[in-house]
Amino acid sequence: MTIVTEVLPTTEAGPTIPRHVAIIMDGNGRWAAKRSLPRVAGHRAGAEAVRRTMQAAVDAGVEALTLYAFSSENWRRSEDEVSDLKGLMRFYLERELGTLKKEGVRLKLIGEPAAFGNELYERLQRAVEETAHNDRLTLVIALNYGSQAELAGAARELARRAAAGEIDPDSIDIAALEGLLHTRDLPPLDLLIRTSGEVRLSNFLLWQAAYAELHFTDTLWPDFDEAAFAAALGEFARRQRRFGGR
């Protein structure tokens, strides 16, 4: 907590902390290329950055941290790289499960993680079940996730319910659609961070980011650390959020 409160403005209610932070973890490949290392080395270093960032979020009092781990478009990568990523997920899941329990972190999955195969999916589900009662931080891992597919799925379900006479089409509103999103049980997204200097959302939480503050940094994901996270929280606290008002 000390690292964060040193950079955040303080009001009578204390430092301004976003309830829900999401991160597009970008730059693993470039980090490895700069060091003449294979891409998997960048992914390994990126997994260490996940550990640091999760702990920083816990210490700061963030309620939910959503990480874009594998997009629905990442299947276009080579078979070897996808296999390496699945192996890393398996390894770090086993290694970090004890830390999640110790720190009171609840694991949640969004997207379509079943596509990774029964063995890995079952491991993921067991970790979700074993951390279900933790309440200090919800760590959301987006696996095989694409926001456009998420929105299309919600629209299909609303259309099905309307066609079946279960709902009146005129009653469909923002809340009805949000209630069918993968993030429906999470706080509203306050801050979205992207690393590596890219300035786009890449099909990540498009609906949820409607009024989120955006923070882009040139830091490659494996180099992202507690200080970088604190800097993003500090910038968030200095912004004036109007939500469409003047």
Query: Annotated catalytic residue: which of 74, 134, 203, 225?
Result: 74
Task: For residue 31, say whether it is annotated as part of any ligand binding site.
Answer: yes
79 is in an annotated binding site: no
Catalytic residue among 26, 59, 84, 190: 26
The 3-state secondary structure of the chain, one letter per residue = CHHHHCCCCEECCEECCCCEEEEECCCHHHHHHHCCCCHHHHHHHHHHHHHHHHHHHHHHCCCEEEEEEEECCHHHCCHHHHHHHHHHHHHHHHHHHHHHHHCCEEEEEEECHHHHCHHHHHHHHHHHHHCCCCCCEEEEEEEEECHHHHHHHHHHHHHHHHHCCCCCHHHCCHHHHHCCCCCCCCCCCCEEEECCCCCCCCCCCCCHHHHCEEEECCCCHHHCCHHHHHHHHHHHHHCCCCCCCC
The reply to whether 202 sits in an annotated binding site is yes
Our answer to whether residue 26 is catalytic in this structure is yes
Residue 146, marked binder: no
Ligand-binding site membership of 27 (annotated): yes
Start-to-end CA distance of the chain, whole Å, equals: 33
User: Annotated binding residue at 61?
Assistant: no
Task: Consult the annotation and say whether 200 binds a ligand.
Answer: yes
- The answer on whether 123 is annotated among ligand-binding residues is no
Is 26 annotated in some ligand binding site? yes
Whether residue 144 is annotated as binding a ligand: the answer is no
Q: Measure the CA–CA gap between 216 and 244, rounded to whole angstroms.
A: 22
Please, is 11 exposed, middle or buried when counting C-beta atoms within 10 Å of its C-beta (0-12, 13-18, 19+)?
exposed
Q: Is 194 annotated as a binding residue?
A: yes
The reply, when asked if residue 81 is annotated as ligand binding, is no
Query: Is 207 annotated to bind ligand?
Result: no
246 is in an annotated binding site: no
User: Active site includes 118?
Assistant: no
The CA distances from residue 3 to 8, 195, 198, 230, in Å, are 9, 20, 26, 7
Which residues are part of a known binding site for substrate? 27-31, 39, 43, 71-73, 75, 77, 194, 200-202
Which residues are part of a known binding site for Mg(2+)? 26, 213
The catalytic residue positions are: 26, 74
